[in-house]
Amino acid sequence: MLRINMASLYTEQGKNVRRTWMLMTMFLVLIIAIGYAVAWYLQNPSILYIAVAFSLFMNVAAYWFSDKIALASTGAKEADPNEYRELHRILENLAITAGLPKPRVYVINDPAPNAFAAGRNKEHAVVAVTTGLLSRLERAELEGVLAHELSHIGNKDILVMTVAVVLAGFIAIISDIFLRMSFFGGNRENRNPLLAIAAIVAIIIAPIAAQLIQLAVSRRREFLADATGALLTRYPDGLASALQKISSYEAPMRRANHATAHLFISNPFGAHEAGKFIAKIFSTHPPVEERVTALVGMRV
């Protein structure tokens, strides 16, 4: 059974702020390490300076524009207040109950039911839902999902999630570029072959390390958002039922990708992919069965 109180909630919120800075620092160190390896391999110190400059720029971009990048990557469009009047109304009522500003609302044209929240803080937060979610869920279930996303905002962990999206993708790109560069130029005669191999291996391993850091954005935040969302609606069964419906949908989202997967309330690759052994190991979400069991056992 998942137990939560206000003291533990505030503790977790403070931890999430610290995790954000730790995450950004680790990505900065990774990029500098890649730059150093390539600069040594090509015997061109300016590459290290470029890597540092890029890493600082991407940290700033990830902080200020993470919500826009996440929305663009999923094809989300702002929800028209007239066409999606009920969605706006439910979210506004929940935001008032939670003591949060109403986030901007977006809709993703996709039959797969899912949703996510993004943004650097509660004043610049967005909530996006798919058309499949709106068509498949009952009102109480939709309230549970929206309360879960608002809880991510209130718990201050949306920045951790969205920063991970930007920086993990950037490391994968820059590693690929540097790997290609490493095959050209430089004075190879003066290099120790073993150290050269180590430099190449470091460049190849960097994206894997970035992925592991992204996965290290704890699964516990999903349990925490489930619990605080259930407290918000006072109806855990609504969210539990929604999670069962979402996780049972077989097909993946049209624009599902591993960079943004951890943003969503449930695995965006569909029930078939999520059930695979390897997918479970590298999943950014805890098993739905465990989440449902925790919610059903809650007393609110």
Please identify every residue annotated as catalytic.
149
**Summary count for the chain: helices (H), strands (E):** 12, 4
Residue 176: count other Cβ atoms within 10 Å of its Cβ.
14
Closest of 239, 246, 247 to residue 296, by C-alpha? 239
Identity (one letter) of the amino acid at 204? I
Query: What is the three-class DSSP state of 108?
Result: strand
CA distance 156 to 184: 45
Would strands 104-108 and 126-130 be described as parallel, antiparallel, or unpaired? parallel
CA distance 152 to 120: 11
The H or E element spanning position 94 is: helix 85-98
Closest of 109, 103, 115, 106 to residue 79, by C-alpha? 106
Q: Radius of gyration (Cα) for the chain, nearest Å?
A: 21
Judge whether 41 and 181 are in contact, CB under 8 Å: no
CA angle 230, 160, 124 (to 5 degrees): 75
Length of the chain, please? Answer: 300
